[in-house]
Structure 1
Amino acid sequence: METATELAPQLAPMAESTAAVGEGPAPTAMDDQAAPSPNGVPHLTPEELVAKAIAPVKREFLRPPPSRTQNDTAHENKKADAAQAGLAREKKSKRQLKRERRQEKKSALNLCPEIAKTGDVASCPYKDKCRFGHDLEAFKTQKPADLEGECPFLGSEEPCPYGLACRFSGTHREGLLGANTPGSRKKSSEMNALNKDVQKLLWKNKMPFPKSDAQLKRLGLRGPNKSLKKMLEGEISDIPLSNNCKVAEENDSDGGVARDSRNELDHPSQVSREENVSDDLATEEIRPLKKAKNESEEKNSSIDAGTTVLRKHLDRIHTETETDASTDSMATETDRSLKLHPREKKLIDFRDKLYLAPLTTVGNLPFRRVCKFLGADITCGEMAMGTNLLQGQASEWALLRRHSSEDMFGVQICGAYPDTVARTVELIDQECTVDFIDINMGCPIDIVVNKGAGSALLTKPMRMKAVVEVSSSTVDTPITIKVRTGYFEGKNRIDSLIADMGKWGASAVTIHGRSRQQRYSKLADWDYIDQCARGAPYSLQVLGNGDIFSYLDWNKHKSDCPELSSCMIARGALIKPWIFTEIKEQRHWDISSGERLNILKDYVRFGLEHWGSDRKGVETTRHFLLEWLSYTYRYVPVSLLDVIPQKLNWRPPSYYGRDDLETLMASDSAADWIRISEMLLGRVPDGFTFAPKHKSNAYDRAENG
């Protein structure tokens, strides 16, 4: 493993470009006049800096902010205007973009996966109808040079799945096809892949959900019931709605945008279902099956196998439904009080465990593997939309993937209505291996809230109850929920619901100490979280979330409220994933730049295993690495601070690190993040640009974080 010292020649030009924004080389000590604070006011004490939410970096490491003249500013504004004008001119229709993607797939660089594996042009079963290129010689001519390092699939029982397309093909031990030494590694360490047969059924809307439908019917939540619709959608909340929210509610009750994704699934009794996983049916390994142009051909080719599997599965479902119905009937006739509450079917213990929050974009499987290695006990996948899962979208199902190292793993789903969430829960319980299912009722993103999901549910407690109750009644897997303090600032409402959440069937509830309106601005309200934890029944586990960035924060929250089961760690883990190690070892880890680089190397290796070692996989890994680096630069090393520990809301000033690599890692420039990615994944393609998705470097804007 290369260290920072070994990378010195490579870092030298990078350090020069990074230091160019300052004035001169990094000093060992700076006098008072040469050490202005980041806001331009000299001689601020550490206490004054902390009061302004600026990280109190020691003066000898500070450097002046880049000087910008009026001409520079005008030039930059002119460039930005030109870029915007260019974007406006280059705007293309969806049809044109789709045509360009197809043409790109046919290019020489996009070699057919089957040919890449075998090296034989005749091996592709689709021949001329294949969506990928078949010119092997042109591919070899245009293929980029191999990257440094070894193929991540070396030592597996099977050959490298990317063969000739692998960016490490030169390290394949037996020729160019990637055959490796067998027996030293398991075939696959990932679980919860979507079965192709199930995906086809979801595409065709031919997948009934008997368990969830039975519970929806039992609770009176199934069918176009007008009174129920009025209760769930037109419910009057004690929280005053803004004009925008009133318009959204009116659209919702009128069957507007918020219900579009739900209408398709209102009558599942009219469809049928096939076996969830069948080893007897052949599945496509190269690409998902498109809809057949000739319907009769599709039916004739699949009717024999599909009908047999479908009949077997429907018989099994019918038997299970009859058994459940008879059991319910017996319990009703004898004594209703003897029937187990859904929450009592299966329990999961979150108490005192380190819980990595579900994190959009960055909380992918490779990142969770890094956090598990650094001490996380519980991991949860990124939030997945229930409607997309029910439609069989492969990109959404990818969010449910689980690594074998994740010994306590859950998935988080989001939905606006009881039927959508219940069917999603049943589908996940059947197709995936998870320890718990978390329902998101706190997401503040507009596109989610406008559809009636996420934080919008906080304004509709009756719908919250219906969602949790029907979900927990449908499956034995523990159901947990994640909420915010309320929808509007100053209108907290979880304290009035916390006593009933356990009765609904929730095993645990995580409270993010901010309102939806607050987004990520201001500090989390831990006093309110503690109030809710004290008001919760003992059987309901309550977890707090917000602004945990050191082991001292963890200790304080746990000691202030013993009723709190645990704390969820979110952005703190994005900025420094070794926070789990710090909490377990009860210390401030003054981590070096070399140790941080090794963590990034592990992430890259995990990413190549997950997304692939071909050109597309390398660039996907690079993209998510850059998204992560847009958070990690906010970490300030312990030795550089006048006041420890660092707080999550502190802005780091412009400073020099203890070596060139640490200085590079402290840069807030996307160009420097790209340089770090090139150290690990080679040069970026021509014309490559990157802008962080979540704009994490904009501290003051409420929509960021």
Structure 2
Amino acid sequence: MEDEERVSPEPHELVARAIAPVKKFYLRPPPVRDDVPIPDDTKPSLLAKEKKSKRQLKRERRQEQKSPVNLCPVISKTGDVSSCPYKDKCRFSHDLEAFKAQKPSDLEGPCPFFKSGGSCPYGLACRFSNMHKDGVGVAPLNLNGVKTISEVNGLSKDVQKLLWKKKMTFPKADANLKTLGLLGHSKLKNKDGSNPGSIKCDPSEDGVSCIVNSDSGPKLECSAEGNIKDDDKDVKSECDELCPPKKRKTEENSGPTKSDYEGESVIEEIVENKSEPEAGTHALTPETDLSLNVHSREKKLIDFREKLYLAPLTTVGNLPFRRVCKVLGADVTCGEMAMCGNLLQGQASEWALLRRHSSEDLFGVQICGAYPDTVARTVELIEQECTIDFIDINMGCPIDIVVNKGAGSALLTKPTRMKSIVEVVSGTAVKPITVKVRTAYFEGKNRIDSLIADMGSWGASAVTIHGRSRQQRYSKLADWDYIYQCARKAPSTLSVVGNGDVLSYVDWNNHRTECPELATCMIARGALIKPWIFTEIKEQRHWDISSSERLNIFRDFVNFGLEHWGSDTKGVETTRRFLLEWLSYTCRYIPVGLLEVVPQRINWRPPSYCGRNELETLMASDSAADWVRISEMLLGKVPDGFTFTPKHKSNAYDKAENG
């Protein structure tokens, strides 16, 4: 009996199985990878890595600084070995000839800093130093004779030192915390801000008034004298048994408790009734009178309606990527999620997430914290140090390390704490406050619809709803029907932004038509896969972008990255790493001209296919080796021993039943 001829599935059948319907002409057999040998450097090591002590790591760092690779920045700028003021005490290398001998070959093209009309800060260390006319990168300034500052929101050294020494005070935030009864961690459940069975003590002129909450009985009130005579020390009153003096909120012990969240410490004592900070401390704002605070209704609100909103994206949503999206049509941008505890500790790496480029005309920062005091103080600090348009509070991050500390999606299980955070932050901040949430923590137990009616009264001006639960992560499509339901329940003063699976202007139009109550749609992974989605939405067309046009977009990212991270060897490799992270998403894009059905859906799993030219085929590869090849077209050869593994291993192409 002859074998029946195999019939290729129809496009609609492939779509039903979440498989991209690529035209038959471009299909090719899937590659066989079982016979590919695994390099020795990628095989798991059988020997346990030696754990080094902090002293040993510090010694190695200092030795590395003294190596010829790390030339003194002063000598690098001037080209003169004798120009360093520290001489032999400098912690960097002064061996100019050894540095030149080991320096990789320069890259092609002009120095990226010359384009902005300034001088190259890296001098001889710049990988484009062959284009420096004087050899050290001194270029003429712009027409006005002043170098253009394109990035803002840097943390000053003076403030950073105060944060390190825990000498910064936050009078405005602490005054709001005191008014709302949220001093210390908000682990309270009762409406009056107290736990059942807990004791709340309020200082007064005559003494201390204590209120004892009982689960089974009425509240007991007692009073104790503020000053106890020596003769009465041995006498225990009923009040002492219910409310020990050490636990009473008096002037001596009214400070906050030490925080165990994120390893942070609550900063100094709370300034309650003082007009000036203590010696050695620094207050962010001189005014603590709550009557002068701007009410949430009086704040300048941001109109998100119809604006193209680029989501805050961890790792890949960096400043150079946001600049690319701005060029391609994004209206609203937001920085990467920053942890409040790290910001209050003055960590430079965390503050770098708040950087803003001059092209970002409507820019916000996103912060994440577990407790009202931590978030409120962070907001006060950010408003003092940064130029922003709004502050977004992340209450939907699904990452384990965040959730296990009580932040992100963990707050969805604690609506009382959500309310406390939004209320105290909105009372502290002058800028509008927005909130980003998921539908719920557990799948099938949505709860945002029961909270959204109150979020506006808490002080939020907008809420973004990601149509998945924390338990889902990124499996299954976003539940837009539930987002519509929440948008219809929201008050008119609260803008609702939908988020999830927007990959084309058709998706955008459908959501806006289906639910006019939505202010706009936030675009997240869709922008990572195809950042020109903003252009498509504005021009209402499917852009069959060519491979050369896509390469030019990557080239713009590289130029922006070199300006941001530096044009020396370290800056080049940092730019390469972030480019490779982005390429791990863009490989999921399937060109419009190759599809039987348009537009592409975000959950489609592409079959093995080839592009219309060699470059397009290379860009479609899901192999890290091919991503490295693309990076070498723009940044030169990778260093010896270079390896790359994507930081985020979340895969949009999950099992078909999860599509």
The TM-score, its normalising length taken from structure 1, stands at 0.79
Match of residue 425, structure 2, among 435, 456, 471: 471
User: Aligned partners of 1:138 and 1:428: how far apart in 2?
Assistant: 43
Q: Which letter does structure 2 place at the counterpart of 1:161?
A: P
Question: Which residue does 2:149 correspond to in 1?
Answer: 188
Question: Which residue does 1:203 correspond to in 2?
Answer: 164
Question: Which residue does 1:56 correspond to in 2?
Answer: 21
Match of residue 135, structure 1, among 70, 77, 95: 95
User: Aligned partners of 1:272 and 1:135: how far apart in 2?
Assistant: 55
How far apart are 1:45 and its partner, in Å?
A: 1.9
Summarize deviations over 1:141-162 as a string: whole Å, max 9, x none. Answer: 1111110111001155542100
Match of residue 366, structure 2, among 403, 412, 417: 412
User: Aligned partners of 2:45 and 2:471: how far apart in 1?
Assistant: 33
Match of residue 30, structure 2, among 65, 80, 85: 65
How many aligned residue pairs are there?
593
Q: Which letter does structure 2 place at the counterpart of 1:194?
A: L
User: Aligned partners of 1:386 and 1:353: how far apart in 2?
Assistant: 28
How far apart are 1:42 and its partner, in Å?
A: 6.5
1:103 and 2:63 aligned:
yes
Q: The residue matched to 1:519 in structure 2 has which SS? A: coil
Question: Which residue does 1:150 correspond to in 2?
Answer: 110
Q: The residue matched to 1:88 in structure 2 has which SS? A: coil
Are the counterparts in 1 of residues 20 and 604 from structure 2 also a CA contact under 8 Å? Answer: yes
Match of residue 546, structure 1, among 488, 494, 500: 500
Question: Which residue does 2:554 correspond to in 1?
Answer: 600
User: Aligned partners of 1:272 and 1:604: how far apart in 2?
Assistant: 51
1:616 and 2:570 aligned:
yes
Are the counterparts in 1 of residues 369 and 408 from structure 2 also a CA contact under 8 Å? Answer: yes
Are the counterparts in 1 of residues 466 and 499 from structure 2 also a CA contact under 8 Å? Answer: yes
User: Aligned partners of 1:272 and 1:146: how far apart in 2?
Assistant: 59
User: Aligned partners of 1:147 and 1:180: how far apart in 2?
Assistant: 18
Question: Which residue does 1:331 correspond to in 2?
Answer: none
Distance 1:532 1:229, change over 3 A: closer
Distance 1:679 1:45, change over 3 A: same
Give the root-mean-square deviation of aligned CA atoms: 3.0
User: Aligned partners of 1:106 and 1:45: how far apart in 2?
Assistant: 64
How far apart are 1:96 and its partner, in Å?
A: 3.8
Distance 1:118 1:526, change over 3 A: same
How far apart are 1:121 and its partner, in Å?
A: 2.0
Question: Which residue does 1:488 correspond to in 2?
Answer: 442
| Percent identity of equivalent pairs | 73
More displaced, 156-165 or 482-491? 156-165
User: Aligned partners of 2:13 and 2:181: how far apart in 1?
Assistant: 59
Summarize deviations over 1:516-569 as a string: whole Å, max 9, x none. Answer: 000000000000000000000000000000000000000000000010000000
Match of residue 632, structure 2, among 678, 685, 688: 678
Question: Which residue does 1:18 correspond to in 2?
Answer: none
Q: The residue matched to 2:45 in structure 1 has which SS? A: helix
Question: Which residue does 2:43 correspond to in 1?
Answer: 83
Distance 1:549 1:642, change over 3 A: same
User: Aligned partners of 2:452 and 2:24: how far apart in 1?
Assistant: 48
Q: The residue matched to 2:537 in structure 1 has which SS? A: helix
How far apart are 1:269 and its partner, in Å?
A: 3.9
1:171 and 2:143 aligned:
no
Q: How does 1:186-335 map to 2 (within 5 A)?
A: 186-223=147-184, 259=261, 261-265=263-267, 267-269=269-271, 317-318=285-286, 320-321=287-288, 324-325=289-290, 327=292
Question: Which residue does 2:598 correspond to in 1?
Answer: 644
User: Aligned partners of 1:415 and 1:89: how far apart in 2?
Assistant: 34
- Stretches of structure 2 lacking an aligned partner (at least 5 in a row): 197-256
More displaced, 406-415 or 214-223? 214-223
User: Which is higher, the Rg of structure 1 or of structure 2?
Assistant: 2
1:46 and 2:11 aligned:
yes
User: Aligned partners of 1:376 and 1:692: how far apart in 2?
Assistant: 26
How far apart are 1:122 and its partner, in Å?
A: 2.5
User: Aligned partners of 1:256 and 1:48: how far apart in 2?
Assistant: 60
Question: Which residue does 2:396 correspond to in 1?
Answer: 442
Q: The residue matched to 1:85 in structure 2 has which SS? A: coil
Distance 1:172 1:638, change over 3 A: same
Question: Which residue does 1:121 correspond to in 2?
Answer: 81
Q: Which letter does structure 1 place at the counterpart of 2:10?
A: T
Question: Which residue does 2:452 correspond to in 1?
Answer: 498
Summarize deviations over 1:216-263 as a string: whole Å, max 9, x none. Answer: 01111114798569998989xxxxxxxxxxxxxxxxxxx999635354
User: Aligned partners of 2:71 and 2:275: how far apart in 1?
Assistant: 36
Question: Which residue does 1:428 correspond to in 2?
Answer: 382
User: Aligned partners of 2:439 and 2:258: how far apart in 1?
Assistant: 28
Question: Which residue does 1:699 correspond to in 2?
Answer: 653
Summarize deviations over 1:204-227 as a string: whole Å, max 9, x none. Answer: 111000110110011111147985
More displaced, 217-226 or 542-551? 217-226
User: Aligned partners of 1:229 and 1:670: how far apart in 2?
Assistant: 53
More displaced, 119-128 or 410-419? 119-128
More displaced, 454-463 or 218-227? 218-227
Are the counterparts in 1 of residues 175 and 272 from structure 2 also a CA contact under 8 Å? Answer: no
Are the counterparts in 2 of residues 199 and 392 from structure 1 also a CA contact under 8 Å? Answer: yes
Q: The residue matched to 2:633 in structure 1 has which SS? A: helix
Match of residue 610, structure 2, among 653, 656, 671: 656
Are the counterparts in 1 of residues 258 and 266 from structure 2 also a CA contact under 8 Å? Answer: no
User: Aligned partners of 1:52 and 1:121: how far apart in 2?
Assistant: 66
More displaced, 181-190 or 605-614? 181-190
Summarize deviations over 1:274-323 as a string: whole Å, max 9, x none. Answer: 99xxxxxxxxxxxxxxxxxxxxxxxxxxxxxx98xx79x75x944x23xx
Q: The residue matched to 2:43 in structure 1 has which SS? A: helix
Distance 1:593 1:511, change over 3 A: same
How far apart are 1:126 and its partner, in Å?
A: 3.0
1:356 and 2:310 aligned:
yes
How far apart are 1:343 and its partner, in Å?
A: 3.7
Q: The residue matched to 1:84 in structure 2 has which SS? A: coil
How far apart are 1:106 and its partner, in Å?
A: 1.5
Q: Which letter does structure 2 place at the counterpart of 1:452?
A: G
Question: Which residue does 2:519 correspond to in 1?
Answer: 565
Q: The residue matched to 2:377 in structure 1 has which SS? A: helix
Q: Which letter does structure 1 place at the counterpart of 2:168?
A: M
Summarize deviations over 1:333-391 as a string: whole Å, max 9, x none. Answer: xxxxxxx7324322111011000000000000000000000000000000000000000
How far apart are 1:95 and its partner, in Å?
A: 4.4
How far apart are 1:130 and its partner, in Å?
A: 2.5
Q: Which letter does structure 1 place at the counterpart of 2:73?
A: P
Distance 1:626 1:223, change over 3 A: closer
The TM-score, its normalising length taken from structure 2, stands at 0.84
More displaced, 111-120 or 554-563? 111-120
Summarize deviations over 1:377-429 as a string: whole Å, max 9, x none. Answer: 00000000000000000000000000000000000000000000000000011
User: Aligned partners of 1:642 and 1:579: how far apart in 2?
Assistant: 20
Summarize deviations over 1:111-163 as a string: whole Å, max 9, x none. Answer: 11111111122322333333321111111111111101110011555421000
User: Aligned partners of 1:342 and 1:202: how far apart in 2?
Assistant: 28
Question: Which residue does 1:633 correspond to in 2?
Answer: 587
1:390 and 2:355 aligned:
no
- Stretches of structure 1 lacking an aligned partner (at least 5 in a row): 1-32, 236-254, 276-305, 329-339
User: Aligned partners of 2:507 and 2:147: how far apart in 1?
Assistant: 40
Q: The residue matched to 2:496 in structure 1 has which SS? A: strand
Distance 1:109 1:231, change over 3 A: farther
